[in-house]
Amino acid sequence: MALVTNNLVLPHKIETEETTTQKYGRFIISPLESGFGTTLGTALRRVLLSSLPGAAVTSIRVSDVHHEFSAIPGVREDMTQLILQIKQLRFNLFEVESARLRLEHRGEGTVTAADIICPPEVEIVNTDLYLFTVDAANAHVEMEFEVRLGRGYTQPEERGRLPIGEIPIDAIFSPIRRVNFEVEPARVGQRTNYDRLTIEIWSDGTIRPKEALAEAASILMNHLKIMGGVEPEPWELPEEVGEETDNARTFLYERPIEELDLSVRVFNSLKRTGITTVGDVIDMLERGPDAMLAIRNFGEKSLDELVDKLREKGYYDTDNDDDADFVEGQEFVEE
């Protein structure tokens, strides 16, 4: 089943594959008009990777450390290595835009994200993330992290002036780690020049891929509404067989003859006669070849070209060479 608006075929719904998890999703959008698969795939991919909000650590304070190139007393890793691990922390923030987290460790041992002390409005998603190892038995390590909401990527220089001892770090806010899309042919009735868009989304676990796709689409729509003004209201092809056949026939009959990609000579001959739609062509052909050959400057070669184009576009049954019949009952089938 598909939707039709302004003579354009639109997908009825998005198919979600069973392999979808909290961090991975595969979605199929079909059928789409030719070219729309790449258009939508590119736009959605860019928005998914750059424009969804997320939370990340933007600065860190470590006891007895004053810059990012220092060693940390009693810790195996230096500040540069620690910052690389800190940047992998993923958070969910609830009803706040920033929060302050703490970490305190005494004695030897391995420290993970689960050791970070969080306020109720902050959740660490990857609590099993390794942070650092303390080698000294008498070591006492204290740290504080500033977590903020943001979009995309920001550099340390964007933090502005910070208190002494507060080290700014670059932050990757985007909750989407990777996006792939693929465009394949799809069939609508006898026509195979439609698109089938498959999108794969990998997230960091703070947002489900399906929710991310919906949010990216919403961001695009909010921008396009400004230019579009009024949203079109699509109508759905009814499921009743009789009505579906009539509506599909009407939809295909109203397609302009420009879609047949005819030669200039044939196109002008039809236009001068007042034939402007595929339906007009079908009506003339149903009267027999003589009706078409009676058109000025329209000979047998023109007739052959016209019939070939109709078959190529799927408006005629290619199995019947003598008297090609218009395909009335077009079903929407994916390929």
What are 162-203's pLDDT values in tens digits? Answer: 888 899 999 999 999 999 999 999 887 777 788 999 999 999
pLDDT at 291 over 70: yes
Residue 251 confidence class, pLDDT cut points 50, 70, 90: low
Mean pLDDT comparison of 39-43, 244-248, 275-279, highest-scoring range = 39-43
Determine the pLDDT at residue 305: 86
pLDDT for 326 beyond 50? no
Please write the tens of the pLDDT for every residue from 23-52: 999 999 988 888 999 999 999 999 999 999
The per-residue pLDDT for 199 is 96
CA distances from 235 to 10, 11, 139, 245, 285 (A): 10, 12, 69, 15, 30
pLDDT, one tens digit per residue, over 294-319 is 787 788 888 888 888 888 777 665 44
Alpha carbon of residue 6 to chain centroid: 23
pLDDT of residue 245: 44
Question: CA–CA distance from 213 to each of 48, 151, 169 (Å)?
Answer: 7, 16, 29
pLDDT at res. 134: 94
Domains of the chain with bracketed CATH = 2-50+176-235 (3.30.1360.10), 53-172 (2.170.120.12), 241-333 (1.10.150.20)
How far from each other are the two terminal CA atoms of the chain, in whole angstroms? 14
Backbone angles phi, psi at 33, to 5 degrees: -60, 150
On the question of pLDDT at 74 being above 50, the answer is yes
- How many CA atoms are closer than 13 Å to the CA of 57, on its beta-carbon side? 26
Q: DSSP per residue over 1-39, as a string? A: -EEEETTEEEES-EEE-TT--SSEEEEEEEEE-TTHHHH
pLDDT for the residue 319: 47
Radius of gyration of the chain (CA): 31
- pLDDT, residue 3, reads 53
Q: Which amino acid is it at 239?
A: E
Q: pLDDT value at position 232?
A: 45
Region of poorest pLDDT, from 121-130, 181-190, 209-218? 181-190
What are the CA-CA distances from residue 299 to residues 86, 137, 237, 270, 318 (Å)?
Answer: 76, 98, 38, 12, 22
* Residue 148 predicted with pLDDT over 60: yes
In percent, the amount of the chain with pLDDT more than 70 equals 83
- Quick one: tokens of 103? 């970490």
Mean pLDDT of the chain: 82
Tokens standing for residue 88: 């992998």
